[in-house]
Structure 1
Amino acid sequence: MLRFLSFLIWSAAALITAPILALSATALYLGHSLPDVETLRDVQLQTPLRMYSTDGKLIAEFGEMRRIPVSFDEVPADFINALLAAEDDNFLNHHGVDPKGLIRAATELLQSGQIQTGGSTITMQVAKNFFLSSERVFSRKLNEILLALQIERNLGKQEIFELYVNKIYLGNRAYGIEAAAQIYYGKTISELDLAELAMIAGLPKAPSRFNPIANPQRAQIRRDWILQRMLSLGHISEERYLQAIAAPISARIHRSSTELDAPYAAEMARLDMLERYGERAYTDGFDVYLTIDSQLQQAADSALREGLIEYDRRHGYRGAEANHADLPSDQWARLLARTQIIGDQQPALVIAVDDKGADVMLRDNVTDRIEWPQMRWARAYRNANSMGPVPRNPSEVLNAGDLIRVRSNTDGALELSQIPTAQSALVALSPQDGSIQALSGGFSFLQSNYNRVTQARRQPGSSFKPFLYAAALDAGYTPASLVNDAPLVYVDEYLATEWRPRNSGGDFLGPIRLREALYRSRNLVSIRLMQDLGVDQSLSYIERFGFSRRELPRNLSASLGTPELTPLQIARGYAVIANGGYNVEPWLVERITDRHGNLLFVAVPPVTPDAQQQHEQRLLTLKDKLPDSLLPPQPVAADRVVDPRTTYQLTSMLKDVITRGTATRARALQRGDLAGKTGTTNEQKDAWFAGYNGDFSTTVWVGFDQPDTLGRREFGGTAALPIWMRFMEVALDGKPEHSQPMPPGLINVRIDPLTGRAARPGSRDGILEVFKEEDAPPPWSELESGGYLIDDAITPLELF
Structure 2
Amino acid sequence: MAKTFKILVVLFIVGVIAAGGITYGVYQHVKDRIPTVEEMKAIELKIPLRIYTRDEQLVGEYGEQRRTPLSYDDIPKDLENAVLAAEDSNFYHHPGVDIMGLLRAVYQLVSTGEIQGGGSTITMQVARNYFLSFEQTFTRKFTEIFISLKMEQQLSKHEILELYMNKIYLGKRAYGFEAAAQVYYGKSLSELDLAQYAMIAGLPKAPSRFNPVVNPSRALIRRNWILQRMLSLDMIDKESYQAAVESPITAKNYGIQPDVDANYVAEMVRSELYETYGEALYSEGLVVYTTINSKRQKDANKAIYDGVLSYDERHGYRGTIETRTELVEESVEDQQEALKEHSNVPSWVMALVLEVSDTTALVRLENGEQFELPWDAINWAAPYLSADSRGKKPETVGDVLVVGDVIQLRPDSDTVWRLAQTPAVQSALVSLDSKDGAIESLVGGFNYFSNKFNRVTQSKRQPGSNFKPFIYSAALNQGYTAATVINDAPVVFHDTNLAQAWRPTNDGGKFYGPTRLRQALYRSQNIVSVRLLDQMGISSTLEFLKNFGFDPNELPRNLSLSLGSANLSPLQIASGYSVFSNGGFKVQPYLIDRVEDRYGNIIFQANPTTVCKTCTLLEKSTPDEQQMGLFNTLSGFESLPVAPRVLDPEISYIIYDIMRDVITKGTGRRARVLNRDDIAGKTGTTNDGRDAWFSGYNGDIVTSVWTGFDDMSPLGRGEWGGSASLPTWINYMRPALAELPKSYIDKPSSLVTVRIDPLTGERALPGQKDAIFEIFRKEHVPAQRSIAAPISESTGIRDSGEQETRTENALENLF
TM-score when normalising by structure 2 = 0.91
Mapped to 2, the partners of 1:154 and 1:695 lie a distance apart of 57
Mapped to 1, the partners of 2:197 and 2:581 lie a distance apart of 56
Q: 2:238 maps to which residue?
A: 238
| Structure 1 position 61 matched with structure 2 position 86 | no
Mapped to 2, the partners of 1:6 and 1:80 lie a distance apart of 49
Deviation (angstroms), 1:148: 1.1
Q: 2:52 maps to which residue?
A: 52
| Structure 1 position 677 matched with structure 2 position 693 | no
Cα distance change on mapping 1:782 and 1:520 into 2, 3 Å: closer
Deviation (angstroms), 1:414: 2.9
Mapped to 1, the partners of 2:190 and 2:209 lie a distance apart of 25
Q: 1:788 maps to which residue?
A: 804
- Secondary structure of 1:415's counterpart equals strand
Cα distance change on mapping 1:442 and 1:747 into 2, 3 Å: same
The letter for the 1-side match of 2:805 is L
Mapped to 1, the partners of 2:15 and 2:746 lie a distance apart of 99
- Contact 1:345 1:419 (8 Å CA) reproduced: no
Deviation (angstroms), 1:10: 7.2
- Contact 1:123 1:160 (8 Å CA) reproduced: yes
What are the within-5 Å matches in structure 2 for residues 410-449 of structure 1? 410-449=413-452
Q: 1:73 maps to which residue?
A: 73
The letter for the 2-side match of 1:490 is F
Mapped to 1, the partners of 2:33 and 2:52 lie a distance apart of 43
Q: 1:157 maps to which residue?
A: 157
- Secondary structure of 2:230's counterpart equals helix
What are the within-5 Å matches in structure 2 for residues 33-182 of structure 1? 33-107=33-107, 115-182=115-182
Deviation (angstroms), 1:633: 7.6
| Structure 1 position 290 matched with structure 2 position 290 | yes
| Structure 1 position 755 matched with structure 2 position 760 | yes
Spell out, residue by residue over 1:299-347, the C-alpha distance to the aligned partner (whole angstroms, 9 max, x if none): 1111112111111122111111211222224322123334334155432
What are the within-5 Å matches in structure 2 for residues 264-303 of structure 1? 264-303=264-303
- Secondary structure of 1:505's counterpart equals helix
Give the share of equivalent positions with the same residue, in percent: 48
Cα distance change on mapping 1:238 and 1:20 into 2, 3 Å: same
Mapped to 1, the partners of 2:248 and 2:3 lie a distance apart of 74
Mapped to 2, the partners of 1:336 and 1:405 lie a distance apart of 10
Spell out, residue by residue over 1:371-411, the C-alpha distance to the aligned partner (whole angstroms, 9 max, x if none): 22332221111111111112221101111111222233333
- Secondary structure of 2:351's counterpart equals strand
The letter for the 1-side match of 2:784 is P
Mapped to 1, the partners of 2:154 and 2:248 lie a distance apart of 42
1:746 to 737, 744, 751: 751
Cα distance change on mapping 1:299 and 1:496 into 2, 3 Å: closer
| Structure 1 position 700 matched with structure 2 position 705 | yes
Q: 1:776 maps to which residue?
A: 781
- Contact 2:753 2:773 (8 Å CA) reproduced: yes
Mapped to 2, the partners of 1:373 and 1:276 lie a distance apart of 53
Deviation (angstroms), 1:422: 0.9
Q: 1:185 maps to which residue?
A: 185
Cα distance change on mapping 1:684 and 1:782 into 2, 3 Å: closer
| Structure 1 position 408 matched with structure 2 position 424 | no
Deviation (angstroms), 1:9: 7.9
Mapped to 1, the partners of 2:444 and 2:206 lie a distance apart of 43
Q: 1:498 maps to which residue?
A: 501
Q: 1:204 maps to which residue?
A: 204
Q: 2:454 maps to which residue?
A: 451
Mapped to 1, the partners of 2:375 and 2:363 lie a distance apart of 13
- Contact 1:433 1:611 (8 Å CA) reproduced: no
Q: 1:660 maps to which residue?
A: 665
Deviates more, 1:781-790 or 1:70-79: 781-790
Q: 2:628 maps to which residue?
A: none
Deviation (angstroms), 1:286: 1.1
- Contact 1:391 1:397 (8 Å CA) reproduced: yes
Residue-pair matches, total: 775
Q: 1:709 maps to which residue?
A: 714
Q: 2:358 maps to which residue?
A: 355
Cα distance change on mapping 1:56 and 1:370 into 2, 3 Å: same
The letter for the 1-side match of 2:385 is R
Deviation (angstroms), 1:685: 0.9
Deviation (angstroms), 1:107: 4.9
Mapped to 2, the partners of 1:770 and 1:699 lie a distance apart of 27
Mapped to 1, the partners of 2:226 and 2:13 lie a distance apart of 45
Deviation (angstroms), 1:433: 0.9
| Structure 1 position 251 matched with structure 2 position 258 | no
Q: 2:304 maps to which residue?
A: 304
The letter for the 2-side match of 1:753 is P
Cα distance change on mapping 1:291 and 1:12 into 2, 3 Å: closer
Mapped to 2, the partners of 1:783 and 1:416 lie a distance apart of 64
1:640 to 639, 645, 652: 645
- Secondary structure of 1:709's counterpart equals coil
- Secondary structure of 1:499's counterpart equals coil
What are the within-5 Å matches in structure 2 for residues 222-233 of structure 1? 222-233=222-233
TM-score when normalising by structure 1 = 0.92
Spell out, residue by residue over 1:258-313, the C-alpha distance to the aligned partner (whole angstroms, 9 max, x if none): 11111111111111121221111111111111111111111111111211111112
Deviates more, 1:80-89 or 1:429-438: 80-89
Cα distance change on mapping 1:7 and 1:728 into 2, 3 Å: closer
Cα distance change on mapping 1:794 and 1:264 into 2, 3 Å: farther
* CA RMSD between the two structures: 2.6
2:515 to 512, 515, 520: 512
Deviation (angstroms), 1:527: 1.3
- Contact 2:383 2:390 (8 Å CA) reproduced: yes
- Contact 1:356 1:394 (8 Å CA) reproduced: yes
- Secondary structure of 2:86's counterpart equals helix
Mapped to 2, the partners of 1:467 and 1:679 lie a distance apart of 13
Spell out, residue by residue over 1:45-81, the C-alpha distance to the aligned partner (whole angstroms, 9 max, x if none): 0111111111111111111110111111111112212
Mapped to 2, the partners of 1:136 and 1:496 lie a distance apart of 76
Q: 1:571 maps to which residue?
A: 574
The letter for the 2-side match of 1:736 is P
Deviation (angstroms), 1:239: 2.4
Q: 1:620 maps to which residue?
A: none
Mapped to 1, the partners of 2:268 and 2:361 lie a distance apart of 42
Mapped to 1, the partners of 2:638 and 2:142 lie a distance apart of 53
- Secondary structure of 1:778's counterpart equals coil
Deviation (angstroms), 1:573: 0.6
Spell out, residue by residue over 1:83-120, the C-alpha distance to the aligned partner (whole angstroms, 9 max, x if none): 11221121111111221221244456778887553322
Mapped to 2, the partners of 1:268 and 1:155 lie a distance apart of 41
Cα distance change on mapping 1:562 and 1:782 into 2, 3 Å: closer
- Contact 2:649 2:748 (8 Å CA) reproduced: yes
Q: 1:489 maps to which residue?
A: 492
Deviates more, 1:126-135 or 1:634-643: 126-135
Deviation (angstroms), 1:774: 0.8
Mapped to 2, the partners of 1:571 and 1:8 lie a distance apart of 91
- Secondary structure of 1:340's counterpart equals coil
- Secondary structure of 1:429's counterpart equals strand
The letter for the 2-side match of 1:763 is Q
- Secondary structure of 1:658's counterpart equals helix
Q: 2:322 maps to which residue?
A: 322
Cα distance change on mapping 1:413 and 1:193 into 2, 3 Å: closer
1:767 to 769, 772, 795: 772
Q: 1:217 maps to which residue?
A: 217
2:371 to 368, 372, 390: 368
1:737 to 737, 742, 746: 742
- Secondary structure of 1:498's counterpart equals coil
Deviation (angstroms), 1:450: 1.0
- Contact 2:114 2:136 (8 Å CA) reproduced: no
The letter for the 1-side match of 2:275 is E
Mapped to 1, the partners of 2:105 and 2:496 lie a distance apart of 95
2:397 to 394, 409, 416: 394
Q: 1:545 maps to which residue?
A: 548
Cα distance change on mapping 1:329 and 1:787 into 2, 3 Å: farther
Mapped to 2, the partners of 1:276 and 1:608 lie a distance apart of 29
The letter for the 2-side match of 1:185 is Y
The letter for the 2-side match of 1:86 is A
| Structure 1 position 581 matched with structure 2 position 584 | yes
Structure 2 stretches lacking a partner, 5+ long: 616-636, 790-800
Structure 1 stretches lacking a partner, 5+ long: 613-631, 796-800
